[in-house]
Amino acid sequence: MEQETKSEEPRPQHKQEPSKMQSQRKNIRGVVAKSRANQNGGDEQRPRPAALGLDGVVSRRAVFEQWAESLSEERPSTKRQLSAESVAKCVSVSKRRDTVVHANTHASKALTHTSPATKPGKPLTRRRSRKQLFNSTDVFQRVETHAINAGKELREQCVFSASTTAQCVTQGARNELEKLRAIWVWLCHNIEYDLDGYLGVSPKLCSPDEVIKEGRAVCSGYSSICLEMCREVGIKCQEVSGYSKGIGYQTSGRRSDESDHMWNVVWLEGQWWLLDACWGAGRVNMQTKTFIRNYDDFYFLTEPSEFIDTHFPDQSEWQLLDTTLSWEEFEKRAITSSAFYSLGLKLKQHHRVTTDDGETKVCMNFPRAMSVTYELLPHDARTETNTARCAQSDAPRQQGAPEEGDSSGSSARLSLTSLGMTLQLNPPEAGSYDLRLFARPLSESAKHRWVCTVEVVCPVAAEREEVPANPFQSWGVCVCAGELGVERCSAGSDVTEVGEGGDCVFTMHTSRPLMMLCELAHTSLDPARAKRCLATQIGPTQLACHVVCPVRGFYRLSVFVRDYNNGDGNFQNVGNFLLHCRNASAEPENLFPPNLGPWCGPGIRTQQAGLSQFSHTGPVVSLPQGRCNISFHKGSPDLQVHAGLSAELHQETTVPGRQGLNTELREEAFPLSRHLLLTQMDGKVTASVCVPQRGVYRLSLYGRTPPQQDYSPLCEFVLRSVCEERGEPFPCVYSAWGRGCVLLEPRGGVLVAGQQVSFRVRVPGARSVCVIGEKHTELKMNKSRVWEGQAHTGHGTLTHIKLAAATTETDSMAILLTWDVHNLPNEL
């Protein structure tokens, strides 16, 4: 069933000068008066009709024939031969194939596109196109306005004669093309489709005058009126019977004995042209059983190569093609709408497609960027109220089918570029399907219009893993990505295979700074857990998304961006990518920390803060030994940097006894802050991390510049340790441990009692440095300005050893660092 498109109202009537409008009405009244005078006998010298009906009443046919004869001197010979037949003819609804309405009362040859007097055949010259006949329908503006106004005037005067109507609506037309256009416009705007007659609710109207009076007709009524009116004004016209793809159409493999549709051909500019006023007038809504006016200019002088998609004449010559199509070829062709050609679309496979190993592709080319949606339905799912075939039969096009389509299913995968689309189809079961395609220009916000239906035959369905729904319709980089600032992407519309570890990285190069959000979807992954599978990095010219896949199967990764400096702007979708993970671990420790911000790794924020030359340029850092040093340079010595280490549900760790000792050290708990040591020099900062156990950690960097009081987030790193050995903490750091202070040894924050330990540190501006244990041990400065010396860890009475320093500005000693001391247990 075809989608509902916006109805095209009649062309606006341009205001005319009162004198001109009065002149037109006077001319129309003159034609009407003359016609009525002829029908009523004319002047007194005109002989009375000889053929009388019952009670002496003159029959209508006799009056019409006598009137036609009286005008024989003014009308072309072809009209004189055909008018009597036209008025007496009543066309049945179903015409048997090979039946053609002939040009006179005697059998004659069908008119052709090469000569009106010979049987259709190959043209002697190259066929002219519609665009060569007229560049734009705007050239008919004057003619159309007059035809619409004349139609209203005739109805007001209760004039329902086809001949009179033809004369009135074509007044002022300068050639046959303008006359035909006037007749076409009048037909499409004054005759509704007789849906009750089509459904058998009421009798079908046959004669042209009855059709005009009631303002309704089936397809044969449209074609017969077109025939009558064209001949009235001297245009050679024929009715053509045949078949159409529409309501109730089935690809049965053979055609029925009776054709189901009628249309016209006209002779203009030395060749035959096709037109269908029934389809040009509008469509029907089978749900409400009503006719919907929707003027469609496409069916006026349609190109034969386009007309054949939906119209198959009884006589193949009326295809007007150099090479005619067989019925089988006609059935295989895709069903197209007028929008398909008005948008300039082209199918690479303009026919039925068959899957190979459960897969097939449908490709379509565009002249400009398009937004496309689709719908794949079983071929037998069509009903009276929801048909998958959106074309016309004897009835006009059916209205009421979904317009937008449903592109979120897993049976197809759509990818778009600025010049075309590719649709990968994987039908869920063997059988026949109807693929309905909808499109609209990307620059427009109107609803998608149905453009074509392609039959898909699937002999054998292939087993497929379930693909998550894609509410954003297309896969790969979106067509609008360039306008949104995305230049290129590391992934496309094809499936991205994820490595054995379940990790992959997507990068996008940008033309301007952008903000990014990402969404990951899997059929068995809840949203909260899916968020822990993503880590985003935002750089000035590049965006990166690190993905971890905890379970096997297909994933959808959707990316959204907005301008970096537009904090109030909305995020827009720029890409949707399909990932496939064959081997993955569902262990929670493989996921990223919860509530990660968008500032993972070095990026715009660190650049704005003056940080550079990061030792680790990515947001995810692997710790095979459980430790790392992340260093970077800062542009301003006034920038103060702070760091923090965290992990989900972290329980304070304990340090067990070391190997090689006869007895175990007692266990103590340490916070995560003891596993991070920040060393700040004038131009360089180093964050040293030694994680307590395997797992995933978050290292957060903050910065401030005095007089700023609060620290602002700069970036975050995800640390992933696979080391089974427990890492030792660092010494506890105090506020006096400031810029320029460097701990060389001992780096471990836990010392063993009863040992002599070497201490080596740098403390800028210190007057003296000492180690405070059971006694004070003064350190000495060497030539490298390093304070060094040895101190004893005590005999079991100490729990901590402190490092203190006195500066030149004060005599008091300030505590810099403290170490925990583990005492050996008594062996007695």
In 3-state terms, what secondary structure has residue 204?
coil
pLDDT of residue 634: 93
Does residue 421 belong to any structural domain of this protein? yes
Pair type for strands 397-401 and 2-3: parallel
Please write the tens of the pLDDT for every residue from 596-644: 988 999 999 999 999 999 999 999 999 999 999 999 999 988 899 999 9
Q: What share of the chain is helix, strand, coil (3-state, %, to 5)?
A: 20, 35, 45
Alpha-carbon gap, residue 147 to 188, rounded angstroms: 11
Among candidate residues 555, 590, 625, the one where a domain is terminated: 590
Please write the tens of the pLDDT for every residue from 267-311: 999 999 999 999 999 888 777 888 888 899 999 999 999 999 999
Do residues 720 and 765 make contact, with C-beta atoms less than 8 angstroms apart?
Answer: no
Alpha-carbon gap, residue 560 to 340, rounded angstroms: 31
pLDDT of residue 253: 62
Which range, of 4-13, 20-29, 217-226, 474-483, averages the lowest pLDDT?
Answer: 4-13
Q: How far is CA 66 from CA 42, 70, 86, 398, 528, in A?
A: 11, 6, 14, 43, 88
Average pLDDT over residues 222-241: 94
Check pLDDT > 90 for residue 541. yes
Does residue 250 belong to any structural domain of this protein? no
Are 713 and 747 contained in the same domain?
no
Are 656 and 742 contained in the same domain?
no
Check pLDDT > 90 for residue 9. no
Long-range contact pairs involving 138-141 (C-beta distance under 8 Å, separation at least 24) = 140/178, 140/181, 140/185, 141/11, 141/14
Dihedral angle of Cα 142, 145, 150, 151, to the nearest 10 degrees: 140
Average pLDDT over residues 136-161: 91
Encoded tokens for 262: 């009628």
pLDDT of residue 248: 62
Is 187 or 652 the better-scoring residue by pLDDT? Answer: 187
Does residue 469 belong to any structural domain of this protein? no
Are 551 and 623 contained in the same domain?
no
Confidence of residue 445 (pLDDT cuts 50, 70, 90): confident
Please write the tens of the pLDDT for every residue from 685-694: 999 999 999 8
| Helices and strands (H and E) in the chain: how many | 16, 49
Q: Which residue type occupies 194?
A: D
Does residue 464 belong to any structural domain of this protein? no
Among candidate residues 286, 316, 333, the one where a domain is terminated: 333
Does residue 29 belong to any structural domain of this protein? yes
Do residues 216 and 359 make contact, with C-beta atoms less than 8 angstroms apart?
Answer: no
pLDDT of residue 209: 85
Are 630 and 720 contained in the same domain?
yes
- Residue 348: partners with Cβ closer than 8 Å, 6 or more residues away: 362, 363, 364, 365
- Residue 131: partners with Cβ closer than 8 Å, 6 or more residues away: none
Average pLDDT over residues 227-252: 86
Alpha-carbon gap, residue 182 to 333, rounded angstroms: 33
The domain spanning residue 706 has which CATH number? 2.60.40.10
Pair type for strands 620-623 and 712-721: parallel
Do residues 244 and 261 make contact, with C-beta atoms less than 8 angstroms apart?
Answer: yes
Q: How far is CA 436 from CA 358, 390, 413, 452, 456, in A?
A: 19, 8, 14, 6, 10
- Residue 54: partners with Cβ closer than 8 Å, 6 or more residues away: none
Alpha-carbon gap, residue 403 to 655, rounded angstroms: 67
Which range, of 422-436, 531-545, 660-674, averages the lowest pLDDT?
Answer: 660-674
Alpha-carbon gap, residue 479 to 491, rounded angstroms: 14
Q: What is the DSSP letter of 614?
A: -
- Residue 189: partners with Cβ closer than 8 Å, 6 or more residues away: 10, 147, 148, 151, 281, 293, 295
Please state the three-class secondary structure of 488-502 as a single string: EECCCCCCEEECCCC
Confidence of residue 51 (pLDDT cuts 50, 70, 90): very low
pLDDT of residue 197: 83
Number of domains in the chain: 5
Among candidate residues 565, 590, 615, the one where a domain is terminated: 590
In 3-state terms, what secondary structure has residue 514?
strand
The domain spanning residue 578 has which CATH number? 2.60.40.1220
Alpha-carbon gap, residue 334 to 148, rounded angstroms: 35
Domain boundaries, position 405: 338-458
Are 555 and 603 contained in the same domain?
no
Which range, of 46-55, 339-348, 455-464, averages the lowest pLDDT?
Answer: 46-55
Alpha-carbon gap, residue 601 to 717, rounded angstroms: 6
Does residue 684 belong to any structural domain of this protein? yes
Q: How far is CA 518 from CA 71, 524, 536, 560, 648, in A?
A: 79, 18, 8, 6, 22
Closest CA to 298 of 386, 370, 227, 396: 396
Please write the tens of the pLDDT for every residue from 181-191: 999 999 999 99
Are 411 and 450 contained in the same domain?
yes
Return the H-helix or E-strand segment holding 623: strand 620-623
Please state the three-class secondary structure of 518-574 as a single string: EEEECCCCCHHHHHCCEEEEECCCEEEEEEECCCCEEEEEEEEEEECCCCCCCCEEE
pLDDT of residue 394: 54
b/e per residue 26-35 (b: at least 16 CB within 10 A): eebeebbeeb
Are 165 and 300 contained in the same domain?
yes
Check pLDDT > 70 for residue 25. no
Please write the tens of the pLDDT for every residue from 66-113: 544 444 444 333 333 333 333 333 333 333 333 333 333 333 334 444
Alpha-carbon gap, residue 812 to 486, rounded angstroms: 59
pLDDT of residue 411: 81
Are 639 and 562 contained in the same domain?
no
Q: How far is CA 828 from CA 794, 821, 824, 825, in A?
A: 19, 21, 12, 9
Are 71 and 214 contained in the same domain?
yes
Is 137 or 41 the better-scoring residue by pLDDT? Answer: 137
pLDDT of residue 19: 52
Are 568 and 646 contained in the same domain?
no
Check pLDDT > 90 for residue 555. yes
**Residue-averaged pLDDT of the chain:** 80
pLDDT of residue 206: 72
Q: Exposed, middle or buried: residue 500 (CB in 10 Å: 0-12, 13-18, 19+)?
A: exposed
pLDDT > 90: percent of the chain: 50
pLDDT of residue 648: 77
Are 580 and 676 contained in the same domain?
no
In 3-state terms, what secondary structure has residue 372?
strand
Does residue 45 belong to any structural domain of this protein? no
Q: Which residue type occupies 173?
A: A
Does residue 480 belong to any structural domain of this protein? no
